[in-house]
Amino acid sequence: MAKMSCQTTNKCQVSNTMAKIELPFPPTITATDIVNRRKPSKIKSKSPNAFLIYRKAFLDQLSNSKHNLKMTDVSKLVSTYWKNEPENVKEEYRKIAAQV
């Protein structure tokens, strides 16, 4: 399992041979970004929760940093990151979810 270290800047990294990912804080993803990316048929469906928004931001960061990981590995990483995030980081994603 990957080791997690969250710095005082609220940027987290996973230390292993697969990936070192830093998520920006405060989050750069907004409620408007999420709504605008949805297909028209999905606009009235249930909005994503804080974890799903966090996962989307994580995937965006992976894409920007040119990491090529299997989705099963990504899911494990995201889960580990989320569990180790401080409450203030999670709260920011909850606020975005409430706005969506």
CB crowding 20-35: b at 16 or more within 10 Å, else e: ebebebebebeeebbe
Q: Determine the Cα angle at 94 with ends 39 and 90, to 5°.
A: 125
Largest separation between any pair of C-alpha atoms in the chain:
41
| pLDDT tens-digit readout, 25-41 | 788 788 777 777 766 66
Residue 7 domain flag: no
Residue 74 domain flag: yes
Q: What is the pTM of this model?
A: 0.66
Ranges of the chain whose pLDDT falls below 70? 1-19, 38-45
| Domain at 69, CATH number | 1.10.30
Domain with 65, as residue range(s), is 46-99
Residue 20 domain flag: no
Decide: 81 and 55 in contact? Cβ < 8 Å: no
User: How many residues are given for the chain?
Assistant: 100
Total domains, the chain:
1
